[in-house]
């Protein structure tokens, strides 16, 4: 079982955490197997993702992860960064914005950090906006920056 970097317990602490950086996930390696599995799941078999031979001669010198694979890792990383308790449930409400500033070349390591941007009261609970930044080890640019919306039902 993974231990979250930050625990937020209940509405009062959720509101008090606005503006705080919540921590980082561990680094994980992006393997060709992970990329191929994502390609199979989505039907996106573009050569820049799944053909190491052709990609070696391409712009990035190797295959790269799909942008949406990188984005989907935000849901993998988030529970490693923060655990929200004291609510009957939390649900993924969507995204306000997602950007992919840098490609993730196969073999790279990535991790995420998160900042709680805002909390809004909604009927039956609260909505949070959180910026999740997926970093590439030894890269000046992140792989993905996303504002994720969650709803916390009391």
Q: From 3.10.129.10, 3.30.1300.10, 3.40.50.300, 3.10.20.30, which CATH number describes the 6-153 domain? A: 3.10.129.10
Find residue 144's DSSP bridge partners.
134
* Residues whose CB is less than 8 angstroms from the CB of residue 92 and which lie 6 or more positions away in sequence, other chains included: 75, 148, 149, 150
Predicted confidence pLDDT, tens digits, the chain (154 residues): 456 689 999 999 999 999 999 999 999 999 999 999 999 999 999 999 999 999 999 999 999 999 999 999 999 999 999 999 999 999 999 999 999 999 999 999 999 999 999 999 999 999 999 999 999 999 999 999 999 999 999 9
Q: What is the predicted pLDDT for the residue at 52?
A: 98
CA nearest neighbour of 79 among 37, 154, 15, 26? 26
Q: What is the predicted pLDDT for the residue at 13?
A: 98
Mind spelling out the 3-state secondary structure of the chain?
Answer: CCCCCEEEEHHHHHHHCCCCEEEECCCEECCHHHHHHHHHHHCCCCHHHHCHHHHHCCCCCCCECCHHHHHHHHHHHHHHHEEEECCCEEEEEEEEEEECCCCCECCCEEEEEEEEEEEEEECCEEEEEEEEEEEECCCCCCCEEEEEEEEEEC
Q: What is the pTM of this model?
A: 0.94
Q: What is the predicted pLDDT for the residue at 1?
A: 47
CA angle 116, 122, 125 (to 5 degrees): 75
Task: Give the number of other Cβ atoms within 10 Å of residue 147's Cβ.
Answer: 17
């Amino acid at each position: 079982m993974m231990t979250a970097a930050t625990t937020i317990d209940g509405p009062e602490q959720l509101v008090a955490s606005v503006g705080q950086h919540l921590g980082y996930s561990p680094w994980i390696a992006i393997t060709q197997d992970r990329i191929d599995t994502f390609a199979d799941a989505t039907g996106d078999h573009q050569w820049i993702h799944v053909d190491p031979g052709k990609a070696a001669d391409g712009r990035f010198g190797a295959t790269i992860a799909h942008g949406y694979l990188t984005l989907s890792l935000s849901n993998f990383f988030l529970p490693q960064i923060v655990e929200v308790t004291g609510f009957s449930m939390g649900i993924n409400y969507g995204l306000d914005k997602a950007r992919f500033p840098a490609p993730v070349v196969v073999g790279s390591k990535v991790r995420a950090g998160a900042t709680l941007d805002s909390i809004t009261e909604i009927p039956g609970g609260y909505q949070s906006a959180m910026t999740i930044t997926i970093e590439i080890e030894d890269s000046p640019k992140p792989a993905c920056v996303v504002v994720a919306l969650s709803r916390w039902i009391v």
